Amino acid sequence: MIKEREVIKEVKRVVIKVGTSTIAHTGGLINIYRMEHLARMISDLKNRGYEVVLVSSGAIGVGAQRMHLKERPRDIEGKQAAAAVGQVVLMNMYQKFFQEYNYQVAQILVTKQVETDKFMKFNAKNTMKELLRNGIVPIVNENDTISTDEIIFGDNDTLSAVVASLVDADLLILLSDIDGLYTDDPRKNPEAKLMSLVEKIDDYVESIAKDSSTKLGTGGMITKIKAAKYATKRGIHVVLANGAGNETVEEILMGKEIGTLFLGGKKK
């Protein structure tokens, strides 16, 4: 264990972002095993004293499957309709799984205005903190149904960083289908090395992200670096890791060298 990972052992409030690839199969069907384990893991974290906010992708993909569409919609109207259907499916599944462990969930749909509108920001912050105080698990997603900006330009990586800032989290965990930040695209360069620690997101780190051709859901590596930069500037540590492993989050919180750790600066 590298000494920098020791900081993770001190965290109490965690935001976990799961990508579509983590909770759904390639065809859009829900990965029931993965979602059930996610609920069990978060419930156990709460039993151990952690406060957890879940940012979950997947509404459009799951909705498209439930609407019996041959492929994921490409137009805005189609994506909005699929998101409306898929969000209901996701929340029903989360509700079912968390209830098995005696925890209640709450749905929060936000847009990027939550960051720029002071009244919306104030209300969102108070609501999420009140839910945490009452032991509820907030499940956050973009409001794709009415906010076209999010569908065209947005991603849940950025959203999760904004949420982490709103709730004053200690740690943001970004789970996707990549092991972390590499020095180069590992699919093209076998010599690429996984970067276990990033103390500062500088021009070099951003250039690596821009050169990456990895596409995960609505975003790629560049969106994850932007999210990490946003969070670390606000004193929040960030870990980017592969969500395929069922014990990934637990291992991260134990301080094990999993994925890439972006060290947060001093909290203001």
Q: Which residues are annotated as a binding site for ATP?
A: 17, 176-177, 218-224
Torsion of CA 30, 32, 34, 39, to 10 degrees: 110
Name beta bridge partners: 175.
18, 241
> Binding site residues, as ranges?
17, 57, 144, 156, 176-177, 218-224
CA distance 165 to 121: 11
Which residues participate in the annotated binding site for substrate? 57, 144, 156
Angle at 113 between CA 111 and CA 115, to 5 degrees: 105
Distance separating alpha carbons of residues 262 and 239, to the nearest angstrom: 6
Q: What distance, in Å, lies between the first and last C-alpha atoms of the chain?
A: 28
Structural contact between residues 58 and 89, judged by C-beta atoms closer than 8 angstroms: no
Listed in sequence order, the residues at least 6 apart from 252 whose beta carbon sits closer than 8 Å to its beta carbon are 8, 173, 239, 241, 258, 259
